[in-house]
Structure 1
Amino acid sequence: MNNFKNKISIKDSGVVFALSVFGTAVVSLFLSFIIAGIDGFLSDQKALQWVSGLVAQLIIIGCAVGYSIYSKINLPTAVGAKNSLKLWQVALLLVLAFAVLCFMLPVQTFISNLLIKAGLSSPPGIIVDTTGDLVLALVIAAVLPSVCEETLYRGFLCNSFAKPGKKVDFSAVLVSSALFALMHMSPWQTIHPFVLGCIIAIVYLATRSIWAAVILHFTNNALVLLLGYFLKGSFEAFVVANWWWIMIIALAIIVPTLWLFVKKGHITQDATDEVMALRAVDRNKSLSFFTAGGVFCLFMWVFVIIG
């Protein structure tokens, strides 16, 4: 792979982002037409969730891999898949994921209550009735999103947005996380994905390892599924009832953990005049792709609100 490039440009990210957004929308629309005209397996709500979730993730990773092959990008190297983590980093990531979940549960409950009072109907959650459902949910709603979505939103977007000469470029963190939140196209899934995306992006840029992002994302989603299945909402009720001191403890874990990751991080590229000039040209070329994808996601977000 000597003729493959090891860096992802902003234009590369824009193209893959637009392809994944519109590709998911088109296939989902096509799938809904098929389902509307048949009875049986796919007409079942649970089966529909599995198929829709699987298709969405396959489109995301398919766009990333397909474009990388077409544009001769060494994807594993470019996104940091070859950068391993130390054991202490993995341990901290697991603790960090749990702390973020504890911090966000009261916030998400508050937002959900506001949306319900505003007249919006709560979307159906993932249906997990049996152990088999749980295993399937862990694969489709935890394993696949952690790999597929992180490859796109951290490996491509956040990676390419990050300015040279910095350990962590917070503008890249905010923009990539905003697009990650918009991608969910739902007011119910906006704040949590944005906050989670920011934390994942900080850790990703500090470590330059996609595995840090994958571990955080997977642990967050897996915890939601496991706690919901085994504790039947009692954990969430406990956290919400004792929100103030749990959020304080969670913050006391989150802030120093992120600080430690950033402190241990390192600058991967110098911000030379030539590098910055090339980035400016690249950014201008990518604007139309991000605008098209972002506006579409925002339109769908608003469409959910107005019904």
Structure 2
Amino acid sequence: MEYTKKPSIFQVNLLYLILGFLLIFLGSYVQGREVYSGLLITEYLIILLPNLSYLKFKGCSLKKILKLNKISMKQLLIIILIVIFTYPVAVFLNLIVITILSSFGDIIPNSVPIPKNSLQYLLGLFVIAISPGICEEIMFRGTIMNAYDKLGKKKSIIYSAILFGLFHFNLQNLLGPIFLGIIFGIIVYKTDSIYSSVIAHLLNNTIALTIGYATTKAQNNVSNTNVETLGMSTQVQLLIALVFIGGIALVSGIILKILLKILPETENSIDYDEDILYETYTKGKNNLFEYLPIIIIIIVFIVRNVKYLFV
């Protein structure tokens, strides 16, 4: 049986650390100068290019590592439904954190630009939906998840999802991406194709972008009456939203569980025995050293978000 060369966990963690710092400093700088071009630089030059370069330098097969395999029409239709019912759950998880943080002070607005007209909406589809769907999935469900595959499928899905959430470096937007990362990882393994998570990711971002655009247009078309005139504080608004969205998320979660079960599983050629590889891999390994880059990222994440406690 032919063995497929896989990325190293330590090397991938180190790459993650380097790209994390590039995102914080270079990414923030270019996005601050002009948000759309800055986001494109972030996605293609800071995220995509280093990951593809690493895989090629490592001698990995892009087709096998990235699972560049076709998906069926039935899989595609179910994936679309999965994303639709995943979105409310992810929003609810983020809203829980936002509600808690609101008790410490003002919530920092989302930095992602909301389109104000049709042209900006079309531009946003490419910059905010399509580009992250391609670039971030190659990094997290491609490079990273394949490296962690040595630990078993469940751990590779969970660990890559956590790293995906941390990579946003925003406490307000942590639980939602982690949940999305888990769902994306599951559908990649079930379909044996990264195309499934790319489609899911860009569709999720398209839903968020469209809701933001529609909400902004609706607000511009109504009177200046707002909830503050009704005597409602921000925390009360958040609690009401939490209960309302929580109900939707509960129903969505039940449907989502069913959809994940009925998603057709593609027969894939596994070129290693998972249990044997895990035992061989973990024997004599200094795991703390391997995960040192991740520990550094977690510390940076905490430092960057401790501001919520002192606003």
TM-score range, shorter chain: 0.7 to 0.9
Runs of 5+ consecutive residues of structure 1 not aligned to the other structure: 36-41
Letter in 1 for 2:262: L
Partner of 2:234: none
How much has 1:151 moved relative to structure 2? 1.0
The answer on 1:109 being equivalent to 2:95 is yes
Q: Identify if the C-alpha distance between structure 1 residues 240 and 43 changes in structure 2 by more than 3 Å, giving closer, same or farther.
A: closer
Q: Is the 8 A contact 2:43 2:135 kept in 1?
A: yes
Partner of 1:19: 15
1: distance between equivalents of 2:59 and 2:21?
26
Letter in 2 for 1:117: S
Q: Is the 8 A contact 1:182 1:298 kept in 2?
A: yes
Partner of 1:189: 173
Letter in 1 for 2:260: L
Partner of 2:184: 200
- TM-score, scaled relative to structure 2: 0.78
Partner of 1:135: 122
How much has 1:195 moved relative to structure 2? 0.5
2: distance between equivalents of 1:27 and 1:210?
23
Deviation larger for 22-31 or 224-233: 22-31
Runs of 5+ consecutive residues of structure 2 not aligned to the other structure: 219-237
Partner of 2:230: none
Letter in 1 for 2:137: E
1: distance between equivalents of 2:123 and 2:261?
35
Partner of 2:259: 257
Q: Identify if the C-alpha distance between structure 1 residues 265 and 245 changes in structure 2 by more than 3 Å, giving closer, same or farther.
A: farther
Letter in 2 for 1:105: V
2: distance between equivalents of 1:182 and 1:272?
27
Q: In the TM superposition, what are the counterparts of 1:56-205 in structure 2 within 5 Å?
A: 56-58=42-44, 59-81=46-68, 83-119=69-105, 121-127=107-113, 128-163=115-150, 169-205=153-189
2: distance between equivalents of 1:112 and 1:130?
28
Q: Percent identity?
A: 18
Q: Identify if the C-alpha distance between structure 1 residues 92 and 209 changes in structure 2 by more than 3 Å, giving closer, same or farther.
A: same
How much has 1:272 moved relative to structure 2? 7.1
Question: Could you say what secondary structure the match of 1:8 adopts?
Answer: coil
How much has 1:73 moved relative to structure 2? 1.5
1: distance between equivalents of 2:50 and 2:305?
29
1: distance between equivalents of 2:80 and 2:211?
15
1: distance between equivalents of 2:254 and 2:289?
41
Q: Is the 8 A contact 1:159 1:205 kept in 2?
A: no
Question: Could you say what secondary structure the match of 2:107 adopts?
Answer: coil
Q: 1:96-143 deviations in whole A, cap 9, x for unaligned? A: 111011223233223212112122531333222222222222222211
Q: Is the 8 A contact 1:138 1:222 kept in 2?
A: yes
How much has 1:246 moved relative to structure 2? 1.8
Q: How well do the aligned residues superpose, as a CA RMSD in angstroms?
A: 3.2
Partner of 2:221: none
How much has 1:290 moved relative to structure 2? 3.8
Q: Is the 8 A contact 1:61 1:148 kept in 2?
A: yes
Letter in 2 for 1:251: G
How much has 1:18 moved relative to structure 2? 2.5
Q: Identify if the C-alpha distance between structure 1 residues 170 and 120 changes in structure 2 by more than 3 Å, giving closer, same or farther.
A: farther
2: distance between equivalents of 1:231 and 1:32?
26
Q: Is the 8 A contact 1:155 1:210 kept in 2?
A: yes
1: distance between equivalents of 2:264 and 2:159?
19
2: distance between equivalents of 1:138 and 1:84?
23
Question: Could you say what secondary structure the match of 2:6 adopts?
Answer: coil
